[in-house]
Amino acid sequence: MTDIHEASHDGARELQAMIAQAGVVVAFTGAGISTESGVPDFRTPGSPWLKNKPIDYEDFIRSDEARREAWRRKFTMDDLYRGAQPSVGHRALATLVARGTSPGIITQNIDGLHQAAGIPDEAVVELHGNGTYATCLACGLRHELVDIRRGFEATERAPECVACGGMVKSATISFGQAMPAEAMRRARDLTLACDLFVAIGSSLVVYPAAGFPLLAKQRGARLAIVNREPTELDEIADLVVRGEIGDVLGPLAATH
């Protein structure tokens, strides 16, 4: 039966106890862990992400105007949360990784804040890519946003790869774009390796990402969910903590 805690401090204690009992802990994070860093989430009413209909992958490939619009929006969003720093939640998870309690984090986020909190790149699985740089869709070469922005602002032309002339896109996964196979494989390995899976700050409605908490539970791990509002998977969780992520995860940094 699901143990639901509305009071963050009771829930935080329960979560600490579960982590202390567990051998291997894997956290799965959504946009909610970054709101305390000043990065808005996706579904909370008023979200700037919902202001425009997303440009899907097909449109990006097909239309030069769609590419230019995607880059305009990208720079506008970047300006909204420039200088965002890791939250208490990011730092608590970095502590779990540093102490060997957790082999890695699976994230839906694209903001790079787990790495900024000190988790090595190889211990962060980014299911939806990374918005802090861009890649060429043809040859995969990495491009830095600062260079792309300078060129775009000077010419209003969508960037092309300096090496092969291919289309350059933010290194995130758009609607309609294939999930990154390597990240999906690593996420599955982490999920199957853990005996406690903790989903944090996600509405758990975006698939296939939300399939990982489900898989963990089906394979016998315990499932804890930390979110300020109900999620799609609360019913199957062993523990649900409804509260602010910083309040719930903050004590972990001190005790584990």
Active-site residues: which are they? 128
Shortest gap between Cβ of 21 and ligand NAD (angstroms)? 24
Tell me: cis bond preceding 208? Omega within 30 of 0 counts: yes
232 forms part of the interface with ligand NAD (CB under 6 A): no
Question: What is the distance between the alpha carbons of residues 172 and 225, in angstroms, rounded to a whole number?
Answer: 25
Is 109 one of the binding residues for ligand NAD (CB under 6 A)? yes
According to CB under 6 A, which one of 101, 102, 115, 227 is a site residue for ligand NAD? 227
Residue 101 or 108 with smaller CB distance to ligand NAD: 108
Pairing of strands 124-126, 105-107: parallel
d(CA 100, CA 109): 22
Does position 170 bind ligand NAD by CB under 6 A? no
Beta bridge partners of 27: 105, 198
Q: In the complex with ligand NAD, which residue's Cβ is closer, 107 or 161?
A: 107
Nearer to ligand NAD, 102 or 231 (CB): 231
Q: Judged by CB under 6 A, which of 32, 86, 159, 213 binds ligand NAD? A: 32
Q: Which stretch binds ligand NAD (CB under 6 A): 6-14, 107-115, 147-155, 217-225?
A: 107-115
Burial of 104 (0-12, 13-18, 19+ CB in 10 A): buried
Give the C-alpha separation, 146 to 28, whole Å. Answer: 30
Asked whether position 177 contacts ligand NAD by CB under 6 A, the answer is: no
35 binds ligand NAD (CB under 6 A): yes
Is residue 232 within 8 Å of residue 224, measured between CB atoms? Answer: no
> Do 9 and 244 contact (CB within 8 A), yes or no?
no
> For binding to ligand NAD (CB under 6 A), which residues are involved?
30-32, 34-36, 39, 41-44, 49, 108-111, 128, 201-203, 206, 227-229, 244-245
